Structure 1
């Protein structure tokens, strides 16, 4: 599966319908980190896990540096009366330890990694949503939180996570702008058969045949309430990677939950959260009609990686933490 051409993945709320419709043709891939070894963990029953996400090392200094940059971002946005909420996607392996191959274990310190990250963020006064219960809630019958041979969470998990984020926003920011009734109307569920991105990128043709495709149950495109004339700018903007792309339904579900328009800036995982956030700040919409709340989505595995990390992000995305901080602050102020 490959992404359709998308020169800019900064989507206004009115773009969701068209974007989701085109992406229904093929599930989108998040490329592996730029310098990552082309390895995966081949688990039981065709379950695949990204080998570039460490199951043995907890990088506390790296996490602390990233939390510092997010704290600087929160402070800069607060200067323009914009709130920041962090949504952290847990490790796929932590949800399916029983699917890991014999002899592969998650180290105790990594088992506590998610709690450590959340604790550091909250200690810094940064609003953060714990998504683990939401993801666990979809594990019923044949529903799973992650696709078997894919890096991504399922649409069920994406919607459950969006609901958790939406409830947090409604609780903490009850006076959102915009008009009630302008949230997205969700489409009907449809099911497709696709070869997971981990299988497609890293397995031999014979291995791919052995693993086989997964079923992708996603929403068909529906008309966005915000597509109506006069619905106004989006009070909530999502910044993230392919986990929050329209194909999987996170922004549409979030819009439905808060009953307001939601806009989106996303890039594949190899671009990284830092360059993607600067893209959001550089968009004309940010200056013309800044949101009240920014939801910034991260993944637990590479969370420790700052903007200078060549083992995670493309060369074009790399910069020193100080350069990123200066560009972020300039982008917020301009």
Structure 2
């Protein structure tokens, strides 16, 4: 079938609906890439673009989402943490030079794509959410230097470096950085490596010849014995040898570097989690702060930040800076209001108001309230008291017997912190009097339901 596609691409383009009418000849004998499970097109120099995620004209961020991010930023700041939202541009936005002429057949418009990205970061910054312009930073790469892998959608080490530089410069300009004593980090080259690419594996089935591997020169970053760095723009230019590398790739003790030192937690997607690009290392170097990387591959837009903000580590001690990396095509509105609600509650004051919850089964807690005592904007913490729980089913019941049920789940790639937060607003009724929560694990001595106090700026 592969040979048939290669010999008769024009005929198949007529016979099969959705096939492009005119395509640039393939360097790798590829055809019908638009029919792959991840539809793609081939550009020049063996660069491939996903049609939906990389070429779509609109990846909007609704004003409601901007407002919710601003609320999350404010609540985190009340607890001493500054949020930086790192909006990763698409391949079509940050690396348009390799697009084929027929990209316009799919609606690609370079001016509109760039305006779309700049609109999002401009509105976030105006709302008080620091959001560096990673698109412009990545487009500043020297001619011929690719910031995304040719047959994959992740950034290369150079793309990661330029993004980290822009984020580091943003962090250094923030008011909270005035109290930071920067630490010197050095980055050194460690040789070639190849990363696995699911996209390349999928598209290879539509090509006769081997597509480009996700191969790059790799780097590692570690603390230096030199003094503080004062000029972030010159950090990477030094390129000297480093001391023994410090592992920042796992979920280690974020406060192990000393209480007097600023801390930076990184949450995000596979862009941050991939070892080949050294993103967290570059971020340490350009920010002058040790980065602890909590990113999760396959966790999508909320997996990593939800795992971290609901964790005992965050509850016990909060970082100075929190960088949330998320590609622009991962919409924060995709799952409704619940994920951002949960983040805002978890970021707020500790939920430590007892409600007198009692066990009513091996996995269930119940609490009763007087009618009118629970308000629409109240929130509850359901805490198993130990790790392991991935799902809770919450039942809210009124004095007249009306019941509403909501399920909160953590996917297999997320941390099973055993802590779940729920804002009552979407489910509230004036005579709400009973709340029950069923965990997917047996209760323990520390299992509880707690009422969350409002944040300082919450007028309700």
TM-score bracket, shorter-length normalisation = 0.7 to 0.9
| Alignment correspondent of 2:257 | 231
- Aligned to 2:333, the other structure's residue is in SS state coil
2:324 counterpart residue number = 296
Q: Which secondary structure does the structure 2 equivalent of 1:237 belong to?
A: strand
Q: 1:214 Cα deviation (Å)?
A: 4.3
Instruction: Name the structure 1 match of 2:45.
Output: 45
Return the offset for 1:83: 1.1
Offset at residue 118 of structure 1 (A): 1.3
Distance in 2 separating the partners of 1:59 and 1:218: 31
Unaligned runs of 5+ residues in structure 2 are: 1-35, 222-243, 351-460
Q: How does 1:44-193 map to 2 (within 5 A)?
A: 44-53=44-53, 55-58=55-58, 60=60, 62-105=61-104, 106-107=108-109, 108-141=111-144, 143-172=145-174, 173-176=176-179, 180-181=182-183, 184-193=185-194
User: 1:162 Cα deviation (Å)?
Assistant: 1.1
Q: Residues 325 and 305 from structure 1, CA distance in 2 versus in 1: closer, same or farther, beyond 3 angstroms?
A: closer
Higher relative helix content = 1
Residues in 2 aligned to 1:220 and 1:122: alpha-carbon distance in whole angstroms: 31
Distance in 2 (CA, whole Å) between partners of 1:265 and 1:279 is 8
In the alignment, the residues of structure 2 paired with residue 266 and residue 208 of structure 1 have an alpha-carbon distance, to the nearest angstrom, of 35
Quote the offset at 1:67 in angstroms. Answer: 1.7
Q: What is the match of residue 398 of structure 2?
A: none
Aligned length: 280
Residue in structure 2 matched with residue 276 of structure 1 by the alignment: 304
The structural deviation recorded for 1:39 is 1.7
Q: 2:199 is matched with which residue?
A: 198
8 A Cα contact 1:176 1:292, kept in partner: no
CA shift in 2, pair 1:140/1:38, >3 Å:
closer
How far off its partner does 1:199 sit? 1.4
> Using a 3 Å threshold, how does the CA distance of structure 1 residues 290 and 215 change in structure 2: closer, same or farther?
same
Distance 1:209 1:305, change over 3 A: farther
Deviation by residue 1:43-75 (Cα, 9 ceiling, x = unmatched):
233211123316344254x53333233122112
Confirm or deny: 8 A CA contact 2:73 2:129 kept in the other structure.
Answer: yes
Find the counterpart in structure 1 of residue 211 from structure 2.
211
Distance 1:190 1:154, change over 3 A: same
* Alignment RMSD (CA, Å): 3.0
Counterpart Cα distance in 2 of 1:102 and 1:160: 27
Distance change in 2, residues 1:203/1:66 (3 Å):
farther
Residue in 1 that maps onto 2:379: none
Is the 8 Å Cα contact of residues 236 and 291 (structure 1) preserved in structure 2? yes
Contact 2:137-2:162 within 8 A present in 1 as well: yes
Q: Verify the 8 A CA contact 1:139 1:145 in the aligned structure 2.
A: no
Question: Contact between 1:199 and 1:208, CA under 8 Å: does it hold in 2?
Answer: no
Q: Which residue of 2 aligns with 1:3?
A: none
Deviations 1:113-169 (A, max 9, x none): 11110122122121111123321333345x311111111111112122112211221
The 1:231/1:271 distance shift into structure 2, 3 A limit, reads closer
- Larger Cα-atom Rg: 2
Contact 2:44 2:100 in 1 (8 A): yes
Structure 1 126/200 Cα, relative in aligned 2: closer, same or farther at 3 Å?
same
Unaligned runs of 5+ in 1: 1-35, 309-319
Secondary structure at 1:295 match in 2: strand
Report the CA distance between 1:212 and its aligned residue. 3.4
| 1:176 shift after superposition | 4.7
- Provide the C-alpha distance between the structure 2 equivalents of 1:230 and 1:264, rounded to a whole number of angstroms: 14
> Is the 2:48–2:150 contact (alpha carbons within 8 Å) kept by the matching residues of 1?
yes
Comparing both structures, which one devotes a greater share of its residues to strand?
2
Task: Give 1:327's aligned residue.
Answer: 342
Q: SS of the residue aligned with 2:53? A: coil
SS of corresponding position for 2:267: strand
Judge conservation of contact 1:88–1:299 (CA < 8 Å) in 2: yes
Name the structure, 1 or 2, with higher relative contact order (CA <8 Å, separation 6+). 1
In structure 2, the residue matched to 1:256 is 285
